[in-house]
Structure 1
């Protein structure tokens, strides 16, 4: 709705200029004045016209004002020097907003474009660790936002079942009879075996030849027992990873196995397309010097086996055929590999993916290497967050039963992880701090608390959802105006987040909305006031928008706290 207001102002300014036979070369931009007394929306379009018209911006602004036709939801326009300031008619605008917002608020028209979004795709050689968190949470939140923005989105996890790590696990179980601990979560049990097998390799490096032989044999696809062993290890680990993703409110549409593209001819097909550009020596590689990359892209080893990148090219060829947009979530350390992949895809007449790169999460606990067995698993991180949340709830004495404390602690704990990661632009590194993540004043808990407050207030009102259209017939207070304006921005934020592929815009908005609601809640009487019906509708509109915002961030909105 806020976007509509600005678009209507843009049309009015263009009409005003047309009346004066003035053409505008640049786009009209708007901003919010620093002080509400200066208006709700402002433009400096007079500045952009000053040089062209050889007049002062002050004079131009006044001329635009004199010829302007104010759109419906505005009550007046003023100039302040070169700025043109517009004032919203909040009695009309509030009436529109509180009756307009429903459960589907923020949804954009359906689009024909299909997006195949790949995220997480961690090697199935152990549990997800904290280093994977940002990939998973950004990917899942972006999927939700894109779907709300009208896109058809499929989220896929690319399963690296042909990697050296899996061969090491199979080798260790066969050669040294390493056992999976049935008392441990499957992915943790796999990770323990991987660690033990790596210790054997470090003690006797000559064993690496045996790993190479196993990989070669697995790729040939003729040893049924070996294929079965690989598949059992991967499936067992993926079962554990799925459980962790479920705890984070993440659901994949498809787990796509890497070996699929070797067995179905996809690898052979993409290598055939690249053949005119490759060089065969001891290895098969794609030279990239002419593209400004010194490092060649190796596509096949000397023994004829493929590499991860070869299978990845075939996977992206599959994405080209099965979507309109390929979207990958990758760590910043993959920039070179992504550039190499994009060049190879271009040369093979396939579509390079869009990539959202992210920086890493820093924790004081240190290393997260699964190979050395020293890492912080996501499962441990979740449990620690829930415990921190529980401690904070008990400290605040929120008058909850023991069962409610456990329920709310889990919602807050997981929500705090997702929100803390989502609120920071992916280009910036994150240093995770519990006191900030779990803050009831400025973290996710403050947003969830605002939603719970709205639910509690509405629980005291009978059949509020059956109210017929209400009309605002009084001059709103500043807190009401601020809340109405924040509510009106939701759809614009969804559009921006989807178009820019940036989740943090929505996270920042959600926090801003909760602050506006809390200010309104503390300053305005709702039940029993002379403006009760409109304010109840305003509370409900806030509840809906907060809930929708949190849902798109993958966070549950509790009804009590």
Structure 2
């Protein structure tokens, strides 16, 4: 409803300014202070004061006089406070918010008829997913969820690097060494933990073996890479035998978050279909193309980039950026928009990619990148090279263990017996533990570095995932106690919302909660435009505070509550449940029914 009210306010302001023969390009729409009973405000009077030759408060009054609030559906009055115009909500605003909020799909925007491909994670298939990179699938999945909620037709892609030297080394090592040659046992009974030992063995061999043996190995590695370039079917099959096994294990890890994909797009696709060769030929024709230092390069100095893009080696083999150019042109051909989630260390490559795509004649307005900083533990930045690496599986296991202990402790502290059994506790531990990891990571601006701390992430009392999740559980508890089936909508259960139900919600706590519910579609709309799911996380914390204030001040099922008020408050709780559940689902955080 907030979107409808804001549109109505914008139309009213434009009409008033036009009547005063004033420009309508900047309406000064903003959020009013907390102590002002308005939904939106306008600071347009600051801009108009000079043109009207009067002080801002007088300018605001003149604009307000031109607005007929009685003709507006969702605005009850327009009041001025100094230089500000404040737009107060009408009874229809509250009524329609409540009516829409009881829909389980509340918050989702209508279909836009526009397709978006979101590429994220895309970790090299050389071993287990490292926790330092966990921000990519968590942010990427949230961005995809956000765009889906905003009405876009979203396709989630994982771009598989199966064509570079790393995979050639991995393939050679897998074919060369036997199980007995490997060090240690796999850390987990899953393919990527088993096969990564071959990759490590191969790299150690290339660093330490006799030079003649290394030369022989390098010749085989080079043959694999050349076979891929020459579209040799046997070479593709050899590499795929390794890649597909490792990728299968990585999928299982990512599914725990969960982060699932519609398509795994392999680099080699763009070698097989000739797209990479086509890109190379076109790059060579560009003015900035030069052959130097035994490679074809593209000078991007005129584009403000002081590092050349190397796109073809002297031996005729392509590089990752070359194949990625073909990949992105394929995206442009198949989708209206493209979003890529990248680590901060890829900032230069992203600039080179955008500039080169433009030089090749593409409209890069279709493409946006979300850059993120890495996740640290309190001990310091994690890096497998320094021996302090932590796998994502380890982080998730510990999250579940810690959440389970916290849930059990809270049960022990309760005065009354609880009907949660071991299966319930395990479910809650998974929802809260993994939710805590996701929420703590996605709630921060992507470009800010994160130091993940357990005490903060799993604090049921602070503004963390459990704090917000508890609101959903509390809503479910109230509705279940009120006799509602949580698996069906109120409408499906034959519960008709009275036309005047919202009018019975008269307290400040009830009205403020309704106003917060009304904002969800607008929050999703703005966050999707900005590709910033952390805006939704901020909203969930604000919502939790508003709901908890309502819960403290407005009993729902108490015997002394009037029956009509009881029904209206139950509808408000149902709306609250759908609001927080759908906001959390954007973040990829499960909304528990009990905690």
Please tell me the TM-score bracket, short chain as reference.
over 0.9
SS of 1:36's partner is coil
Matches within 5 A, 1:107-506: 107-178=108-179, 184-204=189-209, 206=211, 209-210=215-216, 212-218=218-224, 219-221=226-228, 226-277=235-286, 278-281=289-292, 282-352=294-364, 353-366=367-380, 368-370=382-384, 374-397=388-411, 399=418, 400-441=420-461, 442-463=463-484, 465=491, 466-470=494-498, 471=500, 472-474=502-504, 476-506=506-536
User: What do residues 323-372 of structure 1 show as CA deviations (whole Å, max 9, x unaligned)?
Assistant: 12121111111111111112222222234431111111121344644566
1:51 alignment partner in structure 2: 50
Deviation at 1:553, TM superposition (A): 1.3
Q: Structure 1 residues 77, 227: closer, same or farther in 2, change over 3 A?
A: closer
Deviation at 1:83, TM superposition (A): 2.0
2:584 alignment partner in structure 1: 550
Q: Structure 1 residues 512, 287: closer, same or farther in 2, change over 3 A?
A: same
User: What do residues 393-432 of structure 1 show as CA deviations (whole Å, max 9, x unaligned)?
Assistant: 1221263322211110001111111111111111211111
Q: Distance in 2 between matches of 1:214 and 1:24?
A: 71
SS of 1:131's partner is helix
Q: Is the deviation greater in 357-366 or in 494-503?
A: 357-366
- TM-score with structure 2 setting the length: 0.89
Q: Is the 8 A contact 1:167 1:215 kept in 2?
A: yes
Deviation at 1:212, TM superposition (A): 4.2
Q: Distance in 2 between matches of 1:126 and 1:339?
A: 28
Q: Distance in 1 between matches of 2:509 and 2:350?
A: 48
Deviation at 1:292, TM superposition (A): 2.6
SS of 2:543's partner is helix
Q: Is the deviation greater in 142-151 or in 351-360?
A: 351-360
Q: Is the 8 A contact 1:437 1:443 kept in 2?
A: yes
SS of 2:544's partner is helix
Deviation at 1:269, TM superposition (A): 0.7
1:4 is aligned to 2:32: no
1:74 is aligned to 2:75: yes
Q: Structure 1 residues 379, 23: closer, same or farther in 2, change over 3 A?
A: same
Q: Distance in 1 between matches of 2:450 and 2:27?
A: 36
SS of 2:30's partner is coil
Deviation at 1:146, TM superposition (A): 0.8
1:94 is aligned to 2:99: no
SS of 2:156's partner is strand
Q: Is the 8 A contact 2:468 2:544 kept in 1?
A: yes
Q: Which runs of 5+ in 2 are unaligned?
A: 485-489
Q: Distance in 2 between matches of 1:210 and 1:54?
A: 85
Q: Distance in 2 between matches of 1:34 and 1:345?
A: 45
Q: Structure 1 residues 81, 280: closer, same or farther in 2, change over 3 A?
A: closer
Deviation at 1:539, TM superposition (A): 0.2
Q: Structure 1 residues 178, 82: closer, same or farther in 2, change over 3 A?
A: same
Deviation at 1:475, TM superposition (A): 6.2
- TM-score with structure 1 setting the length: 0.94
Q: Distance in 2 between matches of 1:30 and 1:47?
A: 12
Q: Is the 8 A contact 1:198 1:371 kept in 2?
A: no
Number of matched pairs: 559
1:29 is aligned to 2:49: no
Q: Structure 1 residues 57, 455: closer, same or farther in 2, change over 3 A?
A: same
Q: Is the 8 A contact 1:26 1:48 kept in 2?
A: no
1:104 alignment partner in structure 2: 105
Q: Is the 8 A contact 1:137 1:418 kept in 2?
A: yes
1:533 alignment partner in structure 2: 567
Q: Is the deviation greater in 187-196 or in 441-450?
A: 187-196
SS of 1:508's partner is helix
Deviation at 1:140, TM superposition (A): 0.9
Deviation at 1:31, TM superposition (A): 3.1
Q: Is the 8 A contact 1:423 1:504 kept in 2?
A: yes
Q: Distance in 2 between matches of 1:260 and 1:11?
A: 50
Q: Distance in 1 between matches of 2:274 and 2:537?
A: 43
User: What do residues 433-478 of structure 1 show as CA deviations (whole Å, max 9, x unaligned)?
Assistant: 1112112121011111100110011012235553212213446111
